[in-house]
Amino acid sequence: MSIYLDNAATTYPKPDAVYDAVMHAMREVGTSPGRGGYRRSLEADRIVFRTREIIARLFSIADSSRIIFTHNATAALNLALHGFLSGGDHVVTTSMEHNSLLRPLNALSSCGVEVTIVPAGSEGVVSPDDLRRALRPNTTMVALGHVSNVCGAVQPIGAVGALCRESGIRFLLDAAQSAGSVDIDVAAIGIDLLAVPGHKGLLGPQGTGFLYVAPGIDLKPQLQGGTGTYSSSEHQPAGMPDGFEAGTHNLPGIAGLMAGVSFVIERGPSALLRHEQDLLRDAAAALLSVEGATIYGPREWAQLGNVLSFTVEGIDPASLALELDHGFDIAVRAGLHCAPFAHRTLGTLPCGTVRVSPGWSTTREEIAFFSDAVVQCCEKLR
């Protein structure tokens, strides 16, 4: 039995419709959108447009042209940060962030952007009051991740959105670990910039993602080149989304993303999350019976996403993950998960944790097999 429990990194397997859509785009369409008036190019245009439209439906986005396709959430975050912020701006973020957010902010700090990192509590949840106290007269943005990729802690984004609206500050949400499993309404929450990968909860292929930009926000393009529009101009067009999608689109990836989002809408994000949390409850109950095991993150399931992170006293997380892989063909993630500040917050530096993240197709039998395997691995490694 081969078991994949690293869906927080990349979901696998994908629904069959995703594979079919990728192959159709490659074999039957074959060309790029915006690069010709012939039938194949027009079909490529339709695929890109329909994908924007179905993404807009899932996230309650009124205007799908405000969706910019990127290669992943990292590219979306970089575009949001480098495209919006300038020297003298102040950004508030948290100690639970992924390097995809923290590293661009660190780079911008050398260009005059001020950054305040607000510590989260011991369970990984940040207090909106602490965020409020960090605001300054020159604060232009609050930027944070919706769900921790380390321990699954869900941040109170409703309260954060209200705080940003009240204060006239832009709200950038990194939805890498929540899109597709948590309902997100950008208007109701007050999200100004939403960064999303395609290859995680939206069940699309790697190399896909997008940035949503609310009306009234002017971004500076970070990439110049051909767009298929305004070709007579020597300058990058400023319009949405063309001016931010220079070069050839990843059409097979976008087609697969459309199929993945369709699957999510059909099943429902809440139903997908319930399935994964039910499996994590089984895993947590089994892990707590292991001597020396500690589970990190909130104790209330309402504050948890679809990630479970644990350690076993006296056993290196990397060694346990390796034993699960080599001895039982079980894939989990071990280490710092590209979020060292989060591990400092949780007290799991320098070794990190073992992270378990089931997916839409994971079964209870697989979780039971994993739980038994952890017990056997711990007995062997002690």
Exposed, middle or buried, 103 (CB in 10 Å: 0-12/13-18/19+)? middle
pTM over 0.85: yes
259 and 280 co-located in one domain: no
46 and 175 co-located in one domain: yes
337 and 190 co-located in one domain: no
Give the pLDDT of residue 106: 98
The pair of structure tokens assigned to 361 is 């197709």
263 and 195 co-located in one domain: yes
Q: Are 126 and 145 in contact (CB under 8 A)?
A: no
Q: Are 242 and 184 in contact (CB under 8 A)?
A: no
Give the pLDDT of residue 232: 78
305 and 240 co-located in one domain: no
Name the DSSP letter for residue 33.
Answer: T
192 and 289 co-located in one domain: no
- Domain end call among 203, 232, 267: 267
85 and 129 co-located in one domain: yes
226 and 273 co-located in one domain: no
For 90, the 3-state DSSP assignment is strand
Cross-strand bridge partners of residue 185: none
Bond preceding residue 156 cis, omega within 30 of 0 = no
Q: How far apart are CA 193 and CA 212, in angstroms?
A: 5
CATH number of the domain at 112, please: 3.40.640.10
Q: What does the mean pLDDT of the chain come to?
A: 96
Q: DSSP readout, 250-299? A: -HHHHHHHHHHHHHHHHH-HHHHHHHHHHHHHHHHHHHTTSTTEEEES-S
Task: Write down the number of H helices and E strands in the chain.
Answer: 12, 13
181 and 245 co-located in one domain: yes
Q: Are 89 and 138 in contact (CB under 8 A)?
A: yes
Alpha helices, DSSP H only, in the chain?
16-24, 39-58, 73-84, 99-109, 128-134, 157-167, 186-189, 251-267, 269-287, 317-328, 340-346, 364-381
Cross-strand bridge partners of residue 144: 173
Give the pLDDT of residue 32: 83
Q: Are 368 and 16 in contact (CB under 8 A)?
A: no
199 and 220 co-located in one domain: yes
Q: In angstroms, what CA-CA distances link 150 with 108, 123, 276?
A: 25, 11, 16
Query: Is residue 347 left, alpha or beta, with left meaning phi > 0 and alpha meaning psi from -120 to 50?
Result: left
31 and 100 co-located in one domain: yes
Give the pLDDT of residue 97: 98
- Domain end call among 267, 295, 318: 267
For 195, the 3-state DSSP assignment is strand
Give the pLDDT of residue 34: 74
pLDDT less than 50: residues of the chain: none
Give the pLDDT of residue 121: 97
Number of domains in the chain: 2
The pair of structure tokens assigned to 292 is 């020396």
Structural domain for 284, as ranges: 3-12+269-381
- Domain end call among 237, 267, 297: 267
Q: Are 251 and 47 in contact (CB under 8 A)?
A: yes
21 and 8 co-located in one domain: no
- Alpha carbon 21 to its chain centroid, in Å, reads 22
Name the packing angle between helices 364-381 and 317-328 (round to 10°): 120
